[in-house]
Amino acid sequence: MYNILLGGAAGDGIETMSSLLEKILKQSGCHLFTMRDFMSRVRGGHNFAQIRFSNVPINAHRDMLDGIFAIDETTYLEHQPQLSENGFILCDESLAIDDPRVLKLPLKDIAKTIGNPKVISSVAIGALLKIFNLSLEHANTALKASLRSDLIDINLSALQQGFDLTTPRFSLKAAKTADYILLSGNTAIGLGALAAGMKFYSAYPMSPSTSLLEFFNAHGDEMEIAVEQAEDEIAAINMAIGASYAGVPAMTGTSGGGFSLMVEALGFTGIAEIPLVAVDVQRPGPATGLPTRTEQSDLKFVISASQGEFPRMVIALTDHSDCFYQAARSFSLAWKYQIPVILLTDQYLADSATTIPLLDSSAVITYQAPELAPLSDDEPYRRYALTESGISPSRIPGKTEALVRIDSDEHDEFGQITESATVRNQMVQKRMSKLDLLKEELIEPEFWGANQCQSLLVGFGSTSGAIKEAVDLLNAKEMNYGALIFGDIYPLPTKRLKHFATQVIEIINVEQNATGQLASLIREETLISCHHSILKYDGRQLSVDDILMGIKNLKGGF
């Protein structure tokens, strides 16, 4: 398993280079995981991508590097402490880098000779492939998938010339990756929503959720979906609510600041009982915070957003496959219970790319249009009919002769405004009773590690891959660790947690926030306290190494 970093300033083409290299590695039979770190500016600053690749599946990034491709000296200065003793620094011969591990090549001269200075990235990719003893056999396919047709030949020439500059240093046996696909987290969410039958998406561009809007916009005509870039997040969620009210499976997406603007409308879905799927791609806040970086600090916010009390579901997406399947599931839950379902993800998961098994659209719980409630000729339709389950028969206005009346004020069974204390109690109890059914189909947190573990890590969402790998490495040292990773997180499933809490010596929460929001929620719901915390909130994702170091510090070494 190898780990390389590509770094330069914003505008240097790091994103294009990493995307192209990802495709070539995948075509070459490698599994890979790419983590992206970039500044919130158009040019300048320092951007980088880390690509970890192997002949076995990979679910997280690690810190130690086998190689660095440095477009500038800043990349070397920032990341050389991460480079292994036997690693290499690949750069142009013009850079002032004095390190015995440096490999200076005439990258710029070759690019100029070929006729386009921008192909320096392809020259470097050719050199990297040779260093890792990979051929150029699949480059043509990858280039066709990434570049305009008039740029393919010149980039193939650049790849070949870069390839001829170096010699193999490492060797990797190819895997069988034909049954795997390469995609980002936000793309997986988009595919899941399409598999569920989503037909309307509205959003206002806000990093790191914007790529969802771009995905739907790119495939809108092909998939026959309506995509609307609204003037702000308030309009975006209200458009989605309107579409849902009209019987169209709808979704909106944003990041924490945009979700703040959506809060009142979120409450409207609660009292009006209109199904809605909303995606919150977390970034560090408050306010603008760090727009292009990652955090898990919206958990307590989204489970309580909006005034008043109403049922909702929050699902923390754990990995790229989970993005697909849970996005599809969210539509089923929202429409079944007529509630908002919030998909909680973050920049790390949204922008990272990895190889995952082919997605099975037939396995998702496909959205089914609401069944029309049977109506009696003798009585009018009651949109908010009191039922044992709390779920009232739904009808679509315009598709029925019945009058479908909704209201954001408290209302009676017919949707008429009321201030009756009796009816208020009935309606609150009706809405909240949906939680009883919802809790029966919660998915318990995934357990990973030794069944008879003495130490239990708990985490949620995108820390899943790093936690699992850390547990495997700890258990390889016979340290007896396990982990519970929450996907369904509100309402909180508690059965498996309570089981393990009775057998372990200690519980350690691992989170990307400053206050331990998951630990707080666990304590609130179960009275179970975590003994230690490993927290990170600098905008950079917890790595496998961060978790191992955190445990080492707790233990005083190992």
For 452-472, what is each residue's pLDDT tens digit?
999 999 999 999 999 999 999
Task: Indicate if the pLDDT at residue 27 is higher than 60.
Answer: yes
- Which residues is 315 bridged to in the sheet? 343, 488
Q: Which CATH class is domain 446-555?
A: alpha beta
| Terminal alpha carbon distance of the chain | 24
pLDDT tops 90 at residue 367: no
Report the chain's mean pLDDT, rounded to a whole number: 94
- Which one, of 350, 294, 344, 291, lies nearest residue 538 by Cα? 294
* Residue 28, amino acid: S
The identity of residue 449, as a single letter, is G
Banded pLDDT at 399 (limits 50, 70, 90)? confident
Count Cβ neighbours within 10 Å for each residue of 26-51 and write b for 16 or more, e otherwise. Answer: bbbbbbbbbbbbbbeeeeeebbbbbb
Flag whether pLDDT at 90 surpasses 70: yes
Q: What is the pLDDT, as a whole number, of residue 402?
A: 87
Between CA 353 and CA 36 the distance in angstroms is 9
- Model confidence at 550, pLDDT cuts 50, 70, 90, reads very high
CATH of domain 2-165: 3.40.920.10
Which two structure tokens, joined as six digits, stand for 149? 């047709």
pTM of this prediction exceeds 0.85: yes
Confidence (pLDDT) at 365? 66
Banded model confidence at residue 510, pLDDT cuts 50, 70, 90: very high
**pLDDT tens digits for range 191-240:** 999 999 999 999 999 999 999 999 999 999 999 999 999 999 999 999 99
Domain residue ranges of the chain, discontinuous segments joined by +: 2-165, 182-363, 446-555
pLDDT tens for each residue of 277-336: 999 999 999 999 999 999 999 999 999 999 999 999 999 999 999 999 999 999 999 999
Three-state DSSP state, 553: helix
- The yes-or-no verdict on residue 401 having pLDDT over 90 is no
The answer to whether residues 243 and 397 touch, using CB atoms and an 8 Å cutoff, is no
One DSSP character per residue, 110-155 reads: HHHHHT-GGGHHHHHHHHHHHHTT--STTHHHHHHHHS-HHHHHHH
Each residue of 29-88: pLDDT tens digit? Answer: 999 999 999 888 777 789 999 999 999 999 999 999 999 999 999 999 999 999 999 999
Q: For 126-239, where are the E strands, in sequence order?
A: 180-184, 200-203, 226-229
Token pair 């995905």: residue: 215
Tokens of 531: 């003994």
| CATH dotted code for 182-363 | 3.40.50.970
Number of Cβ within 10 Å of residue 230's Cβ equals 18
CA distance 476 to 431: 49
Beta bridge partners of 356: 181
Residue 231 neighbours by CB under 8 Å, 6+ apart: 204
Q: How far is CA 445 from CA 89, 270, 318, in A?
A: 41, 26, 11
pLDDT at residue 370 greater than cutoff 60: no
CB atoms inside a 10 Å sphere around CB 428: 15
Same CATH fold assignment for domains 182-363 and 446-555: yes
